[in-house]
Amino acid sequence: MHRAARIEDAVHEFRENRARKRGYQVTVIPYTGYGSTTWIRVLSRVLLTRDPKPRRRLPIIGRRDETVRGWRSFTAVPINDVDVTITVGGVEHEVKADRGGVVDVVIEATLEPGWHTIQLRAEDSEVVTSPVFIIEPDAKFGVVCDVDDTVMVTALPRPLLAAWNTFVLDEHARVPTPGMAVLLDRLATEHPGSPTIYLSTGAWNVAPTLTRFLSRNLYPSGPLLLTDWGPTHDRLFRSGREHKRDNLHRLAEEFPQMRWLLVGDDGQHDEEIYGEFEEQHPANVAAIAIRQLSAGEAVLAGGRSKAEFMSEKSDALWIYSPDGSGIAHQLNIAGLL
């Protein structure tokens, strides 16, 4: 195991022992999962959290139900290698969380297409419910959408701005990308039963914040596929590009009949990643839609992607536009909307 991973494990163990002595409670944070009629992918995280303090009273005018700074998502203590019980349709499955407390497992289950809820529990935690979207066996279309600078303006690649957005900024101040919520909602309406999957290099810590953001801004419900920051068994830092590549290839293997609309932006590596995926799985790509950053956003994001050539040698439909409305117009012309 990489030295950094051993150090991280030691830090986690110290924090876990200290948190248990201080009376922190085992808590399962459920994330939205997905699957077919014969299996489901269950996503969650097991943490030690303190009892929530009573909220201070705020004036009725302008009061928000939740005022959450991003840094609070990173103060909870993950539990390594804890046993988790998943209950699906009355049947219990015992699984184990990974080094960061993340549960990402596939279990057998027989469920009808549509939305379902499953139950999760770890040690003496309360039972929590997790939504799971079951994709129809004959579904032919789905959406995979990036988050940062695609559905939400974050300027993520700039380290200081990323830290501000992640750790300091009130989640209610995050800015949705113009027209993207309407675009994804129209796609979900035009293709009933199609999944919308949000694929990001963000950490699992911010999944609850992102889920609330997507719901508050009327984006279609769907699984978030995030990653766990920090060292792995064989390297100092996880690769965000590999995370996206691995999950795209996984979706192609899990749903070989599906054609995906891949939505991203030109401020990171989405063009390169999507172009490579289309080369390897051309039958699984319906189109590639790239949101073009404004000049100011491109500066904050550290520049634009240099992978424009990917669209030139690709047989797939590539769409470029600065907002969701322009993408929707071109998808409509192509008969996908």
Query: Which CATH number does the domain housing residue 150 bear?
Result: 3.40.50.1000
pLDDT value, residue 314: 73
pLDDT in tens, 214-247: 999 999 999 999 987 654 444 445 567 899 999 9
Kindly state whether residues 98 and 168 are assigned to the same domain: no
Q: What is the CATH number of the domain that holds 128?
A: 2.60.40
How far is residue 321's CA from residue 291's CA, in Å, rounded to a whole number? 5
- Of 94, 114, 134, the residue that ends a domain is 134
pLDDT value, residue 179: 96
How many structural domains comprise the chain? 2
Give me the chain's average pLDDT, please.
83
Percent of residues, the chain, with pLDDT higher than 90:
56
Residue 161 has pLDDT above 90, yes or no: no
Taking alpha carbons only, the member of 93, 123, 124, 118 closest to residue 108 is 93
Kindly state whether residues 38 and 112 are assigned to the same domain: yes
Average the pLDDT over each of 34-43, 75-84, 108-117, 150-159 and give the range with the smallest value. 150-159
Give the pLDDT band (50/70/90) at residue 3.
Answer: low
Kindly state whether residues 66 and 129 are assigned to the same domain: yes
Kindly state whether residues 112 and 12 are assigned to the same domain: yes
Kindly state whether residues 11 and 92 are assigned to the same domain: yes
How far is residue 147's CA from residue 162's CA, in Å, rounded to a whole number? 13
Close Cβ partners of 261 (under 8 Å, ≥ 6 residues apart) = 141, 142, 143, 144, 187, 286, 287, 288, 289, 331, 336
Kindly state whether residues 186 and 98 are assigned to the same domain: no
Q: Where are the alpha helices (DSSP H) in the chain?
A: 3-21, 159-163, 180-190, 207-216, 240-254, 270-280, 295-300, 309-312, 324-333
Residue 78 has pLDDT above 90, yes or no: no
Taking alpha carbons only, the member of 304, 308, 284 closest to residue 294 is 304
Would you tell me the crossing angle of helices 240-254 and 270-280 to the nearest 10 degrees?
30
Kindly state whether residues 52 and 160 are assigned to the same domain: no
Close Cβ partners of 278 (under 8 Å, ≥ 6 residues apart) = 262, 285, 288, 314, 315, 316
How far is residue 51's CA from residue 230's CA, in Å, rounded to a whole number? 27
Written as six digits, the tokens of 206 are 């911010």
What single DSSP character describes residue 206?
Answer: G
- Of 112, 134, 156, the residue that ends a domain is 134
- Of 134, 168, 185, the residue that ends a domain is 134
Residue 72 has pLDDT above 60, yes or no: no
Domain that includes residue 318, residue range: 141-333
Written as six digits, the tokens of 328 are 């929707």
Kindly state whether residues 283 and 207 are assigned to the same domain: yes
Task: Please state whether beta strands 285-291 and 259-265 pair in parallel, antiparallel, or not at all (unpaired).
Answer: parallel
Kindly state whether residues 121 and 148 are assigned to the same domain: no
Instruction: Check if the beta carbon of residue 123 is closer than 8 Å to that of residue 83.
Output: yes
Kindly state whether residues 31 and 153 are assigned to the same domain: no
Average the pLDDT over each of 45-59, 203-217, 264-278 and give the range with the smallest value. 45-59
Task: Please state whether beta strands 196-203 and 224-227 pair in parallel, antiparallel, or not at all (unpaired).
Answer: parallel
> What are the φ and ψ backbone dihedral angles of 319, each rounded to 5 degrees?
-125, 135
Written as six digits, the tokens of 115 are 């939305």
pLDDT value, residue 66: 43
Kindly state whether residues 159 and 58 are assigned to the same domain: no
Kindly state whether residues 218 and 164 are assigned to the same domain: yes
Average the pLDDT over each of 127-131, 231-235, 273-277, 301-305 and give the range with the smallest value. 231-235
How far is residue 260's CA from residue 187's CA, in Å, rounded to a whole number? 12
Taking alpha carbons only, the member of 41, 76, 28 closest to residue 225 is 41
pTM: 0.85
How far is residue 182's CA from residue 211's CA, in Å, rounded to a whole number? 17
Written as six digits, the tokens of 291 are 């949101």
How far is residue 215's CA from residue 151's CA, in Å, rounded to a whole number? 12
Would you tell me the crossing angle of helices 324-333 and 180-190 to the nearest 10 degrees?
30
Residue with tokens 């596929």: 225
Give the pLDDT band (50/70/90) at residue 130.
Answer: very high
